[in-house]
Chain A
Amino acid sequence: MSLMSLGLVRGVIGQVIGTIVGFLLLMLGRLIGGYEEVWFAEGAWSLGAIFGVIGFLYGVGALDAWTKWMGGVFPPIHHGPIEGEPTWTRYFYPDINHKVIGVQYGVLSLITLMIGGGMAVIFRSELARSGLQFLDPGLYNTVISMHGWATLAAVLIGIGAMANYLVPLMIGADDMAFPRLNAFAFWINVPAVILLMGSLFAQWDSGWTMYPPLSLKGDVGYQLAAYAIYAIGLSSILGSLNIIVTMLTMRPPGMSLFRMPIFCWAMLATSILQLTATQVIGQAMLMISLERSMGMGFFNPNSGLSDLGLPTGIPGGDPILFEHLFWFYSHPAVYIFVLPGLGIISELLPVFARKPLFGYKWIAMSSVAIALVGFLVWGHHMFTSGFAPYLRTTFMLSTMLVGVPTGVKFFSWLGTLWGGKLSFETPMLFVLGAISVFLLGGLSGPILATVATDMPLHDSYFVVGHFHATLFGGFIFPFFAAIYFWYPKITGRMYNEGLGKLHFAIMTPAFWLMSIGQMTVGVMGMRRRIADYDPALGFGGVETGHQVITVAAFLIAFSILVMVYNLFNSADVGELAGNNPWRSRSPEFQIPSPIPEHSFPTPITVVGEPYDYGLAGSTYIQMAPALAGDD
């Protein structure tokens, strides 16, 4: 078996070739156009990025079905590993099985998370003490920008993991509605992450928010980052489309919408957001790219692109336009980030409390309510931006409103725990950790929602504390809970419970310390995105706070390494799990572990409620009896 037989390797080669094709196209165009200098970095890397992604997709084989179809042959869907190759190679190729794709998303998410987390460990080391120790300010700004987008990419990709692995299983479906599209949507993320890594080396210094006019100057890393984001967004859109169609058209008999597992409702709400809002950030990134490479006058009132060696464009651009475009997606984006995780919390609590999910319909509707109201609040990121003053009022009101459906979830979770028979295996620990951390993050929201109190806190470390707590509580903790919970279904073995508890015991207090540290130094007056700070700031000095945050960050990173070790090691030596280690009523736990190629050998019928734990004699699903002669 040669390296070249791996789809991933062919993909990377395809990306390199595609990038060069992009360069050549740009240079050819400039040659024909009579430009003095045939090489132009901004344009070259833009076209290089685009053709690089296409080249990767072609190389890995994600375009095979369509190219064959264009040639007149409609290829059948291939189930199972590649013939003549070891089974594991299917994970490096556009396999169409949603379970394989789910694992691919999951592994890519963890890798990207460690890249983003690695960035944090780097700059936290710099910030532990006042004074510039080893990071020059330009590199510092790039590292924080990379931390932002790499971790957010990890979140979006991790959502793809949970959605694609779980949704078909939870509705008893054999696969997603569009399996080839599913594989394609996964594989776009790989060249995107490669582009993002490239942007680290090329450097870009604006923070993840890419505000112009700053993002219209400086190094070409902006182009690479812009197209990486565009590609990740495209994956998000295609994946969400698939989820919605699958959920609406492939449910089994008896599974009305209000009899779906609650995670499906969470993914429905999330997918609505992904499908409709992501386009806007793609637009914003394109506009940044074109303003940089062609001098189009969207955002820079100066349009004095003399920094980049271009003739001055049309003056009159508005930086605030970018902020609106950016946040119109990026606020719904944060609900994309947390709704699935909140769905995981709702999904797991009944199993470990052994009683029904409290107020299922209200929880389902609250996800949709958060998604819809979430479209109306983006201006709260812009209270100090200088936009029309009356907008501060409307956005303040809508922002506070979105706390109401979120509260419904919290109270419903309490109702689920109350009167239960609670056990505390690792997935449950992470769910409880998620609730406490998301509570902290959520409660630090209203103080940012009222404009007067937002003024001293905007762009301070308090906001950093707020969004890390909401992201960890809404995604990271639930994602880890989900990994531990469904690990036996994926691998057929149990993870090591002792190591799982160790992971939790290190990560949760460390995260609490980190959040409080961040909020404290922020209230004291520490700004965000600064390479160094005045140690005299704040009562008793802000430096202590920073040391606490840095130590906590290192502990969190270490605990994640413990988890990664556990996941790898247990796949080899873990205890065999059996079908249903958690005594769950959900469909995926009624079939063997690891789940076979065709998950459900016979169709299922829904005959009861999903969460009727404690109701004697109740069943959720029934598998049809196997017909004679079926495998």
Chain B
Amino acid sequence: MNEMRVLIVDDSSVMRKIVERSLRQAGLNPITVFEAGSGVEGLEVLSDQPVHLILSDINMPSMDGLEFLRQIRARNLAQGVPVVMITTESSEEHVKQAILAGAQGYIRKPFTAEQVKERVLPLVSAVVGG
């Protein structure tokens, strides 16, 4: 597989590391990870760095994950890049909002590395062709 460039957006640095570890356990190697602590920081990363995959929390201060997604689309950033939401919010309404905002995947916390593999690999193999 080609090198994956992944943006992980979560206000918890611990959770960003756990998500990164889960991606590696899922077999995504080699990967370069860009971290952002909010949607605002995520947009800054995307304006400078091309990525193949975005994983984002929803509940975050300053700009939540859904607004982050809307802003990505509104600013034509990361076109064609799959976005997966990783969040404690799993109601149908949140999933519906995520779809409307442009998410392709949804992982509920708590999660296992196996779940990350199941939900993420089909999306990235389409992008990288690995």
Same complex for A and B? Answer: no
Interface residues of A (CB under 8 A from B): none
Interface residues of B (CB under 8 A from A): none
